[in-house]
A and B are shown apart, each in its own frame.
Chain A
Amino acid sequence: MAKIDLIVRRANLNGKDVDVFVSKGKIVEVKPSAESLDAGDAKVEEAYGLTLLPSLTDVHVHLREPGFEYKEDVESGLRAAAWGGFSNIMCMANTKPVNDNGSVTELMLDKARKHWPKGPRLFPIGALTKGLKGEELAPMAELAQAGCAAFSNDGVPVESTKIFRLAVEYASDWDRVVIDHCEDPYLGVGVGVNEGEVSSRLGLPGQPDVAEALQVARDILLAEYLDLPIHLAHISCRKSADLIRFAKARGVKVTAETTPHYLTMTEAVLEAEGTEYDTAAKVNPPLRPEDDRLAMIEALSDGTIDCLATDHAPHAGHEKETEFDVAPCGISGLDTALSVTWGLVRDGVLTRETFLRAWTTAPCAVFNLPVNTFAPGDPADFFLFDEDEEWTVSASTLHSKGKNTPLLGSVLKGRVKTHFIAGKKIV
């Protein structure tokens, strides 16, 4: 048996007290807690009363470095990830300069190694097209070699179906999946609020759900025709979920994610007393009506939507404290995602199995990332979680530089106490 260098004692794993044995960054064994234990030279982490969960994977974050370090940088983003329970995060390419060449990818990875050498692990996402302009393919071979785990024009979806098709084909040569931000470029005008009752009353130009669903339909047809995978980012509405369900039944290689905010919030926040025109709730795609929220829960539960992602989009305070039309879209999500979605498990809205699939096994399977299922040989990526600890979401409790969340001032339950990645304690 390998030499044990870490033992986590008496942690609660799915209702049972267990001891976890780790060697060289990998899980060796998980077994019921023993009364007495000879730890030998191993470090012992006492976890009594704490819940043991495998580290989460977030396949959709915006770290803003290079170019917009005042909103977030690699260091602060990884700090938020570490405290948020994430061992793997994938960061989008809409930086400045755009991550459309290997140097930018390497800069991101160098920063990650410098500030967080033990993890969380950073997996940059390369641009699909040069400068995100949707005109010429990005050098995906170079990007893949530099460390990009996937490709996407997220934030600036490719308008030309022809270029998008070529990008999906070319990406497949390097065994990388393309992530698409599904938004019809013509109907997508007027972002930040759903087109419907609320936008009508508020007098805001809205984005209809069909702007998303049309592009979802396009991607499904392309994925089927090309017999290649396409991952659909931050799905927000019932129409899209129905299309994806249909596609999966036909065996089309589409996968999809939704976010904690589409599971827990609706457009109603934008006209609720005290939060009217709250720019913190301005996000793209927009918060939808209650029926779409319920559809996201159903679709995640039945596997139509494979995984959760935060779409962590940090912005500076002054950028959000402005007129609704002018404010940028985005919600800062790395710090709150775990508490919010674990709350859904506690309330019986999601099962524990769905939670684990959505945050761990499914995203790792789609993008070929390391995953911990507590089986022998799995990476020792896990955290100890106080399910009952209450915390108030505030500028000082968020580790991200982005304080832009509609949850500011809310009391959430559940806090990461200790986080191990590859057997090393990172917080």
Chain B
Amino acid sequence: MKWLHKDLLDVSQLSKPEVMAIFETAGRFQELQERPVKKVPTLKGRSVVLFFAEPSTRTKTSFDVAGKRLSADTFSLAKSSSSLTKGESLKDTALTLQAMAPDAIVIRHWCSGAARFMADRLDCSVINAGDGRHAHPTQALLDSFTLHQEWGDVAGKTILILGDIAHSRVARSNVILLTRLGAKVRLCGPRTLLPPALKTWPVKVYSDLNEAVKGVDAVMCLRLQLERQKDGLLPDLREYSRTFGLGARHLELANPDVRIMHPGPMNRGVEISSELADSAGSLVLDQVASGVVVRMALLFLYMTRKGEE
């Protein structure tokens, strides 16, 4: 498939065949993970800037590993080491990066729309590694890829996304992608952590976790940012954990083969019990492994576009 997109800003840009092409490419890179030398020269001489204006460990490392396994040169730029801390505007940061002629920029930023802002100003590919509350397309792709690996197809499956939906870019991108792939999506969380106008989303919304979890094939727990309590959105963590924290008792109501997911990092005992995080049905570490191959696939497709196979 010729890859025609310049940027990956959200999964809404991708058709189902394009998602399948990403999965197929990622699947081919999986074999590489088994080799003693996990590196191929595919992107030798190409450069990727990892511009993380917001703290991130796993996404940044995942992209770094993905780039290096394809022999790309990866350069990190964090907010703390960038001129953003000296008051430089995002536009000037973009133009400065552009002048260094990278082939792709992976951006993480605390503002929704920041990835598009960069993409509109840069000639190279921009890959959104999370912008504000808006989108986290690579996380959604790796989540769906993980389930795709498990089930062969996510179509017809019922997936519950649980927790702080309002502030979650992971949830937004997953709702779009999972429904596009034919899954049924449920959301559950306290009303204070649900976005407005949910009736326009292609989802079923629950406030009772016991109801929400009935018959589901997978539960995606979201990280609860602990400062939400200070914002007045929660009474306290104990109540949240007792009401919306996923525990073993809930799984008795779900499909017997239910899978548990979490984008990490986890607050064990808050949004998910420690027991479940480590259980046989947990795909948390599979998600991390999928992350590397999905990001390899994305770097490959976006950096070798221009009509190449």
Contacts and interface: CB of A to CB of B under 8 A. Distances in A.
A276 B112 contact: no
Contacts of A201: 172
Interface in A36-95: none
Given A197-B200, A203-B132, A323 B109 contact: yes
B196 A206 contact: yes
Contacts of A326: 90, 111
Contacts of B111: 323-326
B89 A277 contact: no
B51 to A, nearest CB: 13
A322 B87 CA distance: 12
Most buried by B among A205, A322, A323: A323
A321 interface: yes
Nearest to B112: A203
A276 B113 CA distance: 8
A318 interface: yes
Contacts, number: 64
B247 to A, nearest CB: 29
Contacts of B195: 199-200
Contact of A202 (B113, B117, B198): B113
B269 to A, nearest CB: 28
Contacts of A292: none
Interface string A281-323: 0000000000000000000000000000000000000100111
A276 B132 CA distance: 15
A277 B135 CA distance: 13
A277 B196 contact: no
Nearest to A325: B111
Contacts of B113: 202, 204, 276-277, 323-324
Contacts of A147: none
A325 B91 contact: no
Interface in B82-121: 89-91, 109-114, 116-117
B91 A322 contact: yes
A326 B84 CA distance: 13
A305 B97 CA distance: 50
A420 B268 CA distance: 73
B75 interface: no
Contacts of A276: 113, 116
Interface in A114-135: none
A102 interface: no
A202 B134 contact: yes
A204 B89 contact: no
Contact of B196 (A196, A203, A322, A324): A196
Nearest to A323: B111
Most buried by A among B117, B197, B200: B197
A212 B127 CA distance: 38
Nearest to B117: A323
B169 interface: yes
A195 interface: yes
A199 B133 CA distance: 10
Most buried by A among B91, B112, B135: B112
Interface in A205-235: 205-206, 208
Given A276-B116, A277-B116, A322-B91, A203 B197 contact: no
A199 B89 contact: no
Given A324-B111, A325-B111, A203 B117 contact: no
A197 B112 contact: no
B117 A277 contact: yes
A328 to B, nearest CB: 13
A212 to B, nearest CB: 15
Nearest to A321: B91
Nearest to B176: A201
A197 B198 CA distance: 8
B199 to A, nearest CB: 9
Most buried by B among A199, A205, A277: A277
Interface residues of B, number: 24
Contacts of A322: 89-91, 117
A200 B196 contact: yes
B221 to A, nearest CB: 19
B89 A208 contact: no
Contacts of A200: 195-198, 200-201
Contacts of A206: 196
Interface in B155-173: 169, 172
A205 B200 CA distance: 17
Interface in B6-60: none
A132 to B, nearest CB: 25
A324 B112 contact: yes
Contacts of A323: 90, 109, 111, 113-114, 117
B70 to A, nearest CB: 30
Nearest to A276: B116
Contact of A203 (B91, B172, B198): B172
Contacts of A195: 196
A277 B201 CA distance: 20
Nearest to B196: A195
Contacts of A205: 133
A410 to B, nearest CB: 19
Contacts of B200: 197, 200
Most buried by B among A199, A201, A326: A201
A20 to B, nearest CB: 50
A195 B195 CA distance: 9
Given A322-B90, A325-B132, A208 B196 contact: yes
Interface in B167-213: 169, 172, 195-198, 200-201
Interface of B: 89-91, 109-114, 116-117, 131-135, 169, 172, 195-198, 200-201
25 contacts: A195-B196, A196-B196, A197-B196, A197-B197, A200-B196, A200-B198, A200-B201, A201-B172, A202-B113, A203-B112, A203-B131, A203-B172, A204-B132, A204-B133, A205-B133, A277-B117, A322-B89, A322-B90, A323-B90, A323-B109, A323-B114, A323-B117, A325-B111, A325-B132, A326-B111
Given A277-B116, A318-B91, A323-B109, 6 more contacts: A199-B196, A203-B134, A277-B113, A322-B90, A323-B114, A324-B112
The 10 closest A-B pairs by CB, nearest first: A277-B113, A203-B134, A203-B133, A323-B111, A203-B112, A197-B197, A200-B195, A325-B111, A324-B113, A200-B197
